[in-house]
Amino acid sequence: MHISGQHTTVLLDEAVEALVTDPDACYVDATFGRGGHSRLILGRLSPAGRLVAFDKDLDAVAEAASITDARFSMRHEGFRHLGELPAASLAGVLLDLGVSSPQIDNPERGFSFRFEGPLDMRMDTTRGESVAQWLATAEVQQIAEVIREYGEERFALPVAKALVARRQERGPISTTTELAGIVAGAVKTREPGQNPATRTFQALRIFINAELEELQQALEASLAVLRPGGRLVVISFHSLEDRIVKQFIARHSRDEFDRRAPFAPPRNMALKVLDRIRPGPAEVAGNPRARSAIMRVAERLPS
């Protein structure tokens, strides 16, 4: 198992400040990562407080083992399992949706086009199909749809055609640099300063880990597990994630009428919007990966 690199937690103080309102209560850090948020949350809790963390990454689970605090427990699974916790039992749920720097910077994980490594990209390497395995059999239209939908890549079809042509000519694509090179040949223009493979790598990572589907499941589950007054804090790093979070909070922060029963009373809103926070200039200067972060905060209302 490889644990490398330093990870700087984005919006660390702001997230924990928004999350922890009752030091005696139970909280969830749904994306433990390297434990930056978890450690600060534990520092804000009383002896009666509790923290449950989730993460699919074995390296994150290994890092969590270094926390010997009896108030802390770790679950090796994705936050789609959030709904398994008791109803109305939590005073706060934190979702930090970014990929950690050690994951990106570890060539063995296959997340980055900057390093030669196996084309994997799974958050949990003990389960599921790698990107290389999926690309070995996927059809042009399947690949194009994934790259277009999850990477918002306008050259999705040329990229997909190039990947399948390469597979047919020379066999499966097995490394990150192979993939990046093929994509570079198919993307005719690019944003200034952005590698042409950026959008494709993002798309394949999101798809292979079912990240957006898992996010939607966790957001819905949060309504069940948060007690009245409990806080939902979500940090997103790209537009697809933030759009899901924004729309979810907006949908549940207004009374909803059933158009099929116009005289029925509306379903009461479940959330109150509290804040939207971006990293300040000093944080972005010290950690460029923070520049795209958006943190949204909402409070659970009584049913």
Residues sharing a CB contact under 8 Å with residue 217, sequence separation 6 or more, in sequence order: 80, 82, 83
Rounded CA separation 3/58 (Å): 10
Q: Note whether 204 and 110 are within 8 A (CB).
A: no
Q: Note whether 153 and 147 are within 8 A (CB).
A: yes
User: Closest Cα to residue 151, out of 195, 110, 88, 203?
Assistant: 203
On the CB side of 159, CA atoms within 13 Å amount to 31
Residues sharing a CB contact under 8 Å with residue 15, sequence separation 6 or more, in sequence order: 37, 94, 96, 233, 235, 295
Q: Report, at the CATH architecture level, how domain 124-208 is classified.
A: Orthogonal Bundle (1.10)
pLDDT of residue 114: 86
pLDDT of residue 2: 38
Residue spans per domain, the chain: 12-102+211-300, 124-208
pLDDT of residue 225: 98
- Amino acid code (one letter) for 19: L
Q: DSSP code of 177? A: H
pLDDT of residue 8: 79
Q: In angstroms, how far is CA 58 from the centroid of its own chain? A: 16
| Number of Cβ within a 10 Å radius of residue 100 | 26
CATH number of 12-102+211-300: 3.40.50.150
SS3 call for 106: coil
Radius of gyration of the chain measured on its C-alpha atoms: 21
Match 């898992």 to its residue by tokens: 214
Cα dihedral across residues 100, 98, 14, 74: positive or negative: negative
Q: Note whether 140 and 133 are within 8 A (CB).
A: no
Rounded CA separation 233/72 (Å): 19
| Number of Cβ within a 10 Å radius of residue 163 | 23
pLDDT of residue 112: 86
pLDDT of residue 192: 81
SS3 call for 295: strand
**Strands, E, within the chain: which ranges?**
26-29, 50-54, 72-75, 90-96, 226-236, 271-277, 294-300
Q: Note whether 64 and 201 are within 8 A (CB).
A: no
Taking CA 291 as the corner, what is the angle to CA 93 and CA 95, rounded to the nearest 5 degrees? 10
User: Closest Cα to residue 179, out of 193, 206, 154, 199?
Assistant: 199
SS3 call for 285: helix
Grouped pLDDT means (10 residues each) for the chain, 303 residues:
58 97 98 95 98 95 96 96 98 91 80 90 93 97 98 96 97 95 91 88 96 97 98 96 97 71 65 96 90 96 91
